Chains A and B, each alone.
Chain A
């Protein structure tokens, strides 16, 4: 019950709104977590909570179906119909009689439900699970399902804080846009999926080392490996990418080795086949203090890597 945030499942303190006239339920939920880990604000009427909800959305909403002024379903739907709050996990508390008839979960878009009588340890873990699931779903890239920016930043900062040596590679695709423009976004997505699989499998084949792959968005990926492994990985990724990518072009374009597409100004232009550029930042001797430095160094290097129209990598050689 008095677990510290550090030992909990969460990266930061979580806040929850509990909407219930049931004081026993409120007491139980408030006891299950220390207020440092998950703190509940309790409202005995639904109406009172709504303004707070929209002004300062919590990380979790628990709604009791016993509310007298407004139904739990209505509150859930109010929250889920707004794209800004859609990701907020909602759990409803019900009595057995409420669920005798099946609910239409397509209409009541909640994330989980709890049935009376409550078993405290089950309630604790169902809510922990709901919060963890929401965090994963929120950060993962919807296309590749790889961890997104929040996870990437956390991972980099953790390595820096622990004083670990690491190499971080930024990967992006050259001429992806012209491919997308010519063949359409569905085939563009195929390229992103292929690239994600290729990077993940190459990085995972280094067993027993600290590694990580994330998807910044669009055609930008990152991976982390120990400094002594990174150059080999870059070479392998480039070789595999250059080998595979021609198969995603129509036979004529592939044979010609370029595509004709229209640029932003409406001019018809010839673009080479896609290539992959890798910019690697190496953190040895603890010279980097903050993740922001990593990305700014990487952006400088990226320009250099992109000067070469073929696939290439640039490794930051600066010493502390």
Chain B
């Protein structure tokens, strides 16, 4: 697997480096990990609110060192198998970039909202392990974080292009970089050895009809992304209307009444989620 992705316009390079995390989550997890009575469910819940930390934990537990690569896709299972010592180590080693908090604030809320939506959608569709769908939703825009942190100039050009041409962030990425965050996602997920279902959902959430092996998960994330944008919860880089692929609804066997129910649940739960982002 290539360590780098080369952008087409200025030939700049994205590298796999440690990604930063967000301080308030860090504090909460640290407190819980130090509390002997805290359950792994409680810690998993807090870690799940942070896309970078979640990705790191999943990356670690799926690394060849532990001997079951690509098998674990839930944060809670990862905690049970890694143990608090390793999780504490991941948290300590995770550096905090204040700049990044500013740059990605809206995106973080968007990702958290999408995770919430994916959980609701997966349960409505009758899928097992809705938390795994939530993880995929949480990580679906991770590629954007990588660009913002590693190539801040190009990230600024992408945002300018969104404004000037009135196009989506995804389209602007293709104009400026030559590829979108879906490709960065695929590259990151493979590099980190994430399970194939999460990997495919991350790289196919804009085109779930092209998903090869895990179409339902890709469709859930596609719909979750669409709905959280509809709610205007957070910001994923543009204020364009997203295109909802009809194939996704067909795959999930959703009728309009299912969408209504999902949206009702979302409006309740997004209120709770917004408390976490303060």
Asked if B66 and A198 make an inter-chain contact with CB atoms under 8 angstroms apart, the answer reads no
- Asked whether any CB of chain A lies closer than 8 Å to the CB of B83, the reply is yes
> Is A132 part of the contact surface with B, judged by Cβ < 8 Å?
no
How many Å from the CB of A266 to the closest CB on chain B?
30
**B51-71 with Cβ < 8 A to chain A:** 66-68, 71
Contact in complex: A207, B67 (CB < 8 Å):
no
A243 at the interface (CB under 8 A from B): yes
B67: chain A residues within 8 A (beta carbon): 143, 189-190, 193-194
Contact B81 A205 (CB under 8 A): no
Does B77 sit within 8 A of A, measured CB to CB? yes
Which residues of chain A are near B263, meaning CB under 8 Å? none
- In the complex, A64→B235 CA distance in Å? 72
Check A201/B68 contact, CB under 8 A, given A207-B36, A244-B77, A247-B77. no
Interface centre among A143, A197, A204 (most CB of B within 10 A): A197
**Given A190-B67, A244-B77: A204 touches B72 (CB 8 Å cut-off):** no
Closest to A190 in B: B68
Q: What is the predominant secondary structure among interface residues of chain B facing chain A?
A: helix
Chain B residue with minimal CB distance to A246?
B128
A200: Cβ under 8 A from any B Cβ: yes
**In the complex, A189 Cα to B73 Cα: how many Å?**
19
Contact B83 A197 (CB under 8 A): yes
Residue B80 at the A interface, CB < 8 A? yes
- Answer yes or no: B84 CB below 8 A from chain A CBs: yes
**Residue B82 at the A interface, CB < 8 A?**
yes
Tell me if B68 and A193 are in contact (CB < 8 A). Answer: yes
| A197, B72: Cβ atoms closer than 8 Å | no
Assuming the contacts A193-B66, A207-B36, asked whether A201 and B83 have C-beta atoms less than 8 A apart, the reply is: yes
How far is it, in angstroms, between the C-alpha of A247 and the C-alpha of B84 when the chains are bound? 22
With the chains together, A201 CA to B84 CA distance in Å? 8
Q: Answer whether A194 and B81 are a contact pair too, CB < 8 Å, given A189-B67, A247-B72, A248-B68.
A: yes
Tell which of A143, A190, A198, A207 touches B80, judged by Cβ atoms closer than 8 Å: A198
Size category of the B interface is 10 to 19
Contacts of A143 in B (CB 8 A): 67
What residues of A have a CB within 8 angstroms of the CB of B73 in the complex? 247
Q: Which of B36, B71, B83 is A247 in contact with, Cβ under 8 Å?
A: B71
- Contact for A200 among B71, B72, B77, B83, CB less than 8 A: B83
Q: Which residues of A contact B77 (CB under 8 A)?
A: 240, 243-244, 247
From A190, A198, A202, A247, name the one whose CB has the most chain B CB atoms within 10 angstroms: A247
A40 to chain B, nearest CB (A): 40
Hey, which chain A residues are within 8 Å of B82, CB to CB?
197, 201
- The interface size of chain A toward B, counting residues with CB under 8 Å, comes to 18
The docked-state distance in angstroms from the alpha carbon of A190 to that of B66 is 9
Question: A190-B67, A207-B36 given as contacts; is B80 within 8 A of A244 (CB)?
Answer: yes
A10 to B142, CA, bound (A): 52
B59 shortest CB reach to chain A, Å: 16
Chain B residues with Cβ below 8 Å from A198 are: 80-81
Expressed in whole angstroms, the Cα–Cα distance for A141 and B85 within the complex equals 22
- Chain A residue contacts of B36, Cβ below 8 A: 205, 207
Contact with B along A197-214 (1 / 0, CB 8 A): 110111011010000000
Task: Give the docked Cα–Cα distance between A194 and B61 (Å).
Answer: 10
Q: How far is the CB of A146 from chain B (nearest CB, A)?
A: 13
Within 8 A of B (CB), among A238-269: 240, 243-244, 247-248
Q: Which residue of A lies closest to B67 (CB)?
A: A193
For window 76-129 of chain B, which residues contact chain A by CB distance below 8 Å? Answer: 77, 80-85
Q: How far is the CB of B185 from chain A (nearest CB, A)?
A: 22
Minimum Cβ distance to chain B for residue A173 (Å):
15
The answer to whether A204 touches B83 (Cβ under 8 A) is: yes
Answer whether A190 and B71 are a contact pair too, CB < 8 Å, given A197-B66, A207-B36. Answer: yes
Residues of B within 8 A of A190 (CB): 67-68, 71
Given A190-B67, A193-B66, A207-B36, the answer on whether A201 and B81 have CB atoms closer than 8 Å is yes
Q: Which of A189, A193, A205, A243 touches B84 (beta carbons < 8 Å)?
A: A205
Minimal beta-carbon separation of B44 from chain A (angstroms): 12
Within 8 A of B (CB), among A154-187: none
A240 to B66, CA, bound (A): 17
Interface string of A21-40 (1 = CB under 8 A from B): 00000000000000000000
Tell me, rounded to whole Å, the shortest Cβ–Cβ distance linking A192 to chain B.
8
B277 to chain A, nearest CB (A): 29
Residue of A nearest to B132 (CB): A247
Q: Mark A131-147, 1 if CB is under 8 A from B, else 0.
A: 00000000000010000
Most buried by A among B36, B67, B85: B67
- A-binding residues in B (CB < 8 A): 36, 66-68, 71-73, 77, 80-85
- Chosen A-B contacts, 7 in total, with CB atoms closer than 8 Å, are A190-B67, A193-B66, A197-B81, A201-B81, A205-B36, A205-B83, A247-B73
Q: A198-B80, A201-B81, A204-B83 are in contact. List 11 more A-B contacts (CB 8 A).
A: A190-B67, A193-B66, A193-B67, A194-B67, A197-B80, A205-B83, A240-B77, A243-B77, A244-B77, A247-B73, A248-B68
